[in-house]
Chains A and B, each alone.
Chain A
Amino acid sequence: MIRHLLSIKDLDPEGIERVLATAATFQADGPRIMRKYPTLRGKTVVNLFYEASTRTRTSFELAAKRLSADVVNFSVSGSAVEKGESLKDTAQTIEAMGVDAIVIRHSSSGAPNRLAGWVSASVINAGDGMHEHPTQALLDLYTIRQHFGSFSGLRVAIVGDIAHSRVARSNVWGLQMMGADVTLVGPPTLLPPRVEGWGVETTADIEAVLPKADVVYLLRMQLERGTGATVPTLREYSRLWGLDAARATLLKDEALIMHPGPMNRGVEITADAAELPRSVITDQVANGVAVRMALLYLMLGGRDAREEVPVE
C-alpha cells in the first residue's frame, strides 16, 4: 500500500478498489460501525488541523479509534500559522514524539506534500486549500459504488464552484480513474482555468445535464464580494444552478444526489431536494468512517481485513 495519500492520484484503480472493498468489510454488519478492531493497537495517529473542521476530523478520529489506534488532535488556529511555529517545526515536533500517521487539513494547497518531505510518518491529506481532498473522493466513490456496483460509463455531473474546490479535483481524478464520465456544470467564472486539460465536459446549462446524469454532485457555494466575485449574487446562483425539488424531477429515477457538506441550504441545494429519497448525503457521512478505517488499516496495518476479528 502507499506510504502517503496526498492526492487521489497516489492510488491506482486497483488501490482504490482495495480501499473500497476493505471499507465494505468493515460495514459488513451494517453502515454504522459499532465494532472495534485491534489492528492498530500501539499505533498513533495525529489529526493536525489548521482549518476548522468538525466532520472530517471526527470521522478520522472515529476511524482510528475503531482500529484501536491512539489519536491525538492537534488543532492550530489560523492566527498561529501567521505568527507561531512554522509547519516544518510543528512537523518535526510531532515527528519527535513518534507517530505513525499524520492526518493534515490545511488552507494552503500542497501543505501535505511539504509535510511528507519532512517526516517519516505516513501523511494523509484531509483537505488542502483548493488542491485535493482524497478521502472525500474515496467515500464518494464508495457511496456511488454502493448504488451502482461499478463506475464504468456512469455519468457524474459536478455542479458549482469547481475552481476553488478540492473536493471537485479529487472526485474528478478518482471518477476518471474508475471509468466514469464527468461533466462540470456552472458559469465559466466557477470553472477552473485551462479546464480543457482536465478531460471533462463543461457546460453552464444544468437542466440539459440532469436528465442524462447518474449522479448530480453539488458543491458548497461561497460568495466572494467585490470585483473578484464569481457570481453576482447567491440568489441568482441559486436560481440558475441550484437544485430544488422541481429541478430534481429532471433526474432519472435511479440517479443520486450528493453533497460533501456542510450544505448551504437554499443556495446550491434546497432543503426539499436534500431530503429526497435519492439524496445520499447522510450515507456519505456514514461511509466516511468506514473508508477512512480502510485507508488507515491498509496504510498502517496492511493485512486482509476479512481476517480481522473484532474485539468488542
Chain B
Amino acid sequence: MSKAVVFRGARVVDPASGRDETADVRIEGEQITDIGKISTNHAEEIDCAGLILAPGFVDLHAHLREPGREDAETVATGTRAAARGGYTAVCAMANTDPVADSAAIVEQVVALGRAAGLADVYPVGAISVGLQGEQLAELGEMATSSARVNFFSDDGKCVQSAGLMRRALEYARAFDAVIANHAEEGALASGGHMNESEVSSILGIAGIPAEAEEVIVARDLALAKLTGARLHVPHVSTAGTVELIRAAKARGVRVTAEATPHHLALTDDLVSGYDPVYKVAPPLRTRDDVDAVRKGLADGTIDCVATDHAPHPPEDKEREFDLAPCGMLNLETALGVVVTELLDPGLLGWLRLIEAMSTAPARARGLDGHGGPIAPGTPANLVVFDPATAWIVEPEKLASKSKNTPFAGRTLKGKVVHTMLRGRFTVREGSDADGQR
C-alpha cells in the first residue's frame, strides 16, 4: 500500500460540489479520503499554497492516431501530452487506420490506454462504416463491448445524409449514446482550405463559409428535436452556430457543444503567411466569431473545451497550404490558452473554467469518476496547477510526437504542477511521472 498524500493548502475548485475555497485534500490508494483542514498524519505532505486543485481535465475530442499513424502520435505519447496538460481522461477519435468502427478496434484503443497508464482513454466510435457516411456502423456492438462506447462520431467527416443522421440519432437512443457530427456541408465547403473571408479572398485560398457549418448544425438540431436523441456539436467555430445552439437549448433540445482552444484564441488572419500550422477544420474564423464562441463558452451555451488535438508530422505540415492536412496540437497548451485568453481578461471565473475543462465534458459522456466531485470516496483524478506562472510554448519540448502547435512562442499563464490518475502521479512537480507514488 502506497503512502497517503496530502495536498496542503490548495485552492480547491470543484464545480460538481460548488466548492471554491482553500482546503487540504488527502489521497489514500486510489481515492480521495478527506477534504478540509486535515492533519498530515503519516502522509506525505505536498505544499500547494498559491496553486489550484481541481478535478482532472476531460477531453472529449483528441486524435491519438493509433492504430495507423504511429509516426504522428501513439496512445502512449498522446496520453503523456494529456497528463502534462492536466488531463485524466481523453476521448480518442475514430479516424484511425483501421477506423474505430468495430468492437475490436475500440477495445484495442482502450487496452493501449491501460498499458500506457497515463490517462483513461475512452474511444469514440464511428457513426458509419469506414467513416464513409453510407451505412451505420455497429454502434450496439461497440456500446456493449468492454470498451462501453457511448459516444459516436465520423470525426472530420460530416454525415452529409440527413437520412443517415436521423437513423444514427434514433438508433443511438437504444444505448443512451451521444452522436457528434462534424458540421460541414460538403458542397458549400468543397475545395475550401480556410475560412471564407476578406482574408481568403485576398490570399486566393478557396474558402469555407461559416454557413457550411451552420446549415448542418441547424439540420442536426432539428433532427435531435425530432428524435429526442442526444446531439453533441464538436468544435463550434462560428457566431451563427453559437446562436443556433443557444436557441435550441432554450427549446429543450438535448444538445451539448464544445469549443477548441484555437477557436477561442486564434483568427483567420494568421493564415496570411500560408503556414499550414494554422490550417484546421473547421477553419480559424474572424474576430467576431472568436468573441461569440468565447461568450458562448462563458455563459454555458457551449458546455466545454475540447482540444481536437491533431498531431501531424513535419513532412505533412511543412508544405503548400492547400496540400497540407488540417489539425493542431492542443493537449499540453489548452489550460494555458483558456486561462490566458478567457480567464485573465475576465470573461469567466475559475469555477466555470474548471467546469468547462472537466465537469461538463465528463457529464456529457457520463464518465463516472471524472469531473469531480472532489469528495471522500471518489477516485483521485486530479490536477494541481499554478494559475499565475507564465511559460513560453516551445514545440520541441512538447511530449507529443508531432510539433504542430499554433501557439509556438506564445507566453501562456497557467501551468500544470501535478496530475494524478486514480491516486498515482502522472505528472509530479511539473515533470513526467510514471504513475508510481
Using known A-B contacts A131-B204, A194-B197, A228-B190, determine if residue A86 contacts B319 with beta carbons closer than 8 Å: yes
Name B205's contact: one of A87, A106, A130, A197 (CB within 8 Å). Answer: A130
Complex contact B318–A86 (CB within 8 A): yes
Using known A-B contacts A131-B203, A166-B204, determine if residue A108 contacts B273 with beta carbons closer than 8 Å: no
Using known A-B contacts A110-B203, A110-B274, A132-B204, determine if residue A193 contacts B197 with beta carbons closer than 8 Å: yes
Residues on B with beta carbons closer than 8 Å to the beta carbon of A109? 203-205, 274, 321-322
23 chain-A/chain-B pairs, Cβ below 8 angstroms: A86-B315, A88-B318, A88-B319, A108-B322, A108-B323, A109-B203, A109-B204, A109-B322, A111-B274, A113-B274, A114-B274, A114-B275, A114-B320, A129-B204, A129-B205, A130-B206, A169-B204, A192-B201, A193-B207, A198-B201, A198-B202, A227-B187, A228-B191
Complex contact B320–A110 (CB within 8 A): yes
Write the chain A residue with the least CB distance to B205: A109
Write the chain B residue with the least CB distance to A163: B201
Write the chain A residue with the least CB distance to B320: A108
Residues on B with beta carbons closer than 8 Å to the beta carbon of A195? 201
A71-98 residues at the B interface, CB under 8 angstroms: 81, 86-88
Per-residue interface assignment for chain A, residues 227 to 250, with 1 indicating a CB less than 8 Å from any chain B CB and 0 otherwise:
110000000000000000000000
Residues on A with beta carbons closer than 8 Å to the beta carbon of B200? 193-194
Residues on B with beta carbons closer than 8 Å to the beta carbon of A128? 204
Residues on A with beta carbons closer than 8 Å to the beta carbon of B273? 110, 113
* A278 CA / B48 CA spacing, docked (Å): 82
* A131 CA / B199 CA spacing, docked (Å): 11
Residues on A with beta carbons closer than 8 Å to the beta carbon of B197? 193-194
Min Cβ gap B287→A in Å is 14
Name B323's contact: one of A81, A113, A198 (CB within 8 Å). Answer: A81
Min Cβ gap A79→B in Å is 13
Using known A-B contacts A109-B205, A110-B205, determine if residue A197 contacts B198 with beta carbons closer than 8 Å: yes
Write the chain A residue with the least CB distance to B322: A108
A residues near B, CB below 8 A? 81, 86-88, 106, 108-111, 113-114, 128-132, 166, 169, 192-195, 197-198, 227-228
Min Cβ gap A278→B in Å is 30
Residues on B with beta carbons closer than 8 Å to the beta carbon of A169? 202, 204
B196 interfacial by beta-carbon distance below 8 Å: yes
Residues on B with beta carbons closer than 8 Å to the beta carbon of A197? 198, 201-202
* A88 CA / B203 CA spacing, docked (Å): 20
B373-424 residues at the A interface, CB under 8 angstroms: none
Residues on A with beta carbons closer than 8 Å to the beta carbon of B318? 86, 88
* A102 CA / B322 CA spacing, docked (Å): 21
* A81 CA / B414 CA spacing, docked (Å): 43
Residues on A with beta carbons closer than 8 Å to the beta carbon of B207? 193
Name B321's contact: one of A88, A110, A193, A194 (CB within 8 Å). Answer: A110
Using known A-B contacts A193-B196, A228-B187, A228-B190, determine if residue A87 contacts B319 with beta carbons closer than 8 Å: yes
B301-330 residues at the A interface, CB under 8 angstroms: 315, 318-323
Per-residue interface assignment for chain B, residues 79 to 120, with 1 indicating a CB less than 8 Å from any chain A CB and 0 otherwise:
000000000000000000000000000000000000000000
Residues on A with beta carbons closer than 8 Å to the beta carbon of B323? 81, 108
Write the chain B residue with the least CB distance to A6: B274
Residues on B with beta carbons closer than 8 Å to the beta carbon of A114? 274-275, 319-321
If A110-B320, A193-B200 are given as contacts, then 7 extra A-B residue pairs at C-beta distance below 8 Å, sorted by A number, are A86-B319, A108-B321, A109-B205, A110-B273, A114-B275, A228-B187, A228-B190
Min Cβ gap B192→A in Å is 10
* A198 CA / B198 CA spacing, docked (Å): 8
Residues on A with beta carbons closer than 8 Å to the beta carbon of B315? 86
Residues on B with beta carbons closer than 8 Å to the beta carbon of A130? 204-206
Among A81, A106, A110, A198, the one with the most B-chain Cβ atoms within 10 Å of its Cβ is A110
Name B201's contact: one of A111, A132, A194 (CB within 8 Å). Answer: A194
* A30 CA / B156 CA spacing, docked (Å): 59
* A87 CA / B317 CA spacing, docked (Å): 12
* A227 CA / B188 CA spacing, docked (Å): 10
Name B320's contact: one of A106, A166, A192, A228 (CB within 8 Å). Answer: A106
Using known A-B contacts A130-B205, A193-B197, A194-B201, determine if residue A111 contacts B320 with beta carbons closer than 8 Å: yes
Residues on B with beta carbons closer than 8 Å to the beta carbon of A228? 187, 190-191
B44-63 residues at the A interface, CB under 8 angstroms: none
Question: Which 6 residue pairs spanning A and B have beta carbons closest together?
Answer: A110-B274, A131-B204, A130-B204, A108-B320, A197-B198, A109-B204
* A113 CA / B320 CA spacing, docked (Å): 9
Residues on B with beta carbons closer than 8 Å to the beta carbon of A132? 204
Name A193's contact: one of B187, B190, B201, B320 (CB within 8 Å). Answer: B201
Residues on B with beta carbons closer than 8 Å to the beta carbon of A86? 315, 318-319
* A197 CA / B196 CA spacing, docked (Å): 13
Write the chain B residue with the least CB distance to A169: B204
* A81 CA / B322 CA spacing, docked (Å): 12
* A151 CA / B201 CA spacing, docked (Å): 25
* A110 CA / B198 CA spacing, docked (Å): 16
Residues on A with beta carbons closer than 8 Å to the beta carbon of B204? 109-110, 128-132, 166, 169
Min Cβ gap B423→A in Å is 47
* A189 CA / B207 CA spacing, docked (Å): 14
Residues on A with beta carbons closer than 8 Å to the beta carbon of B203? 109-110, 131
B264-323 residues at the A interface, CB under 8 angstroms: 273-275, 315, 318-323
Write the chain B residue with the least CB distance to A114: B274
Write the chain A residue with the least CB distance to B191: A228
Min Cβ gap B201→A in Å is 4
* A192 CA / B318 CA spacing, docked (Å): 28
Min Cβ gap B240→A in Å is 16
B201-251 residues at the A interface, CB under 8 angstroms: 201-207, 209
* A38 CA / B49 CA spacing, docked (Å): 74
Among B191, B197, B320, B323, the one with the most A-chain Cβ atoms within 10 Å of its Cβ is B320
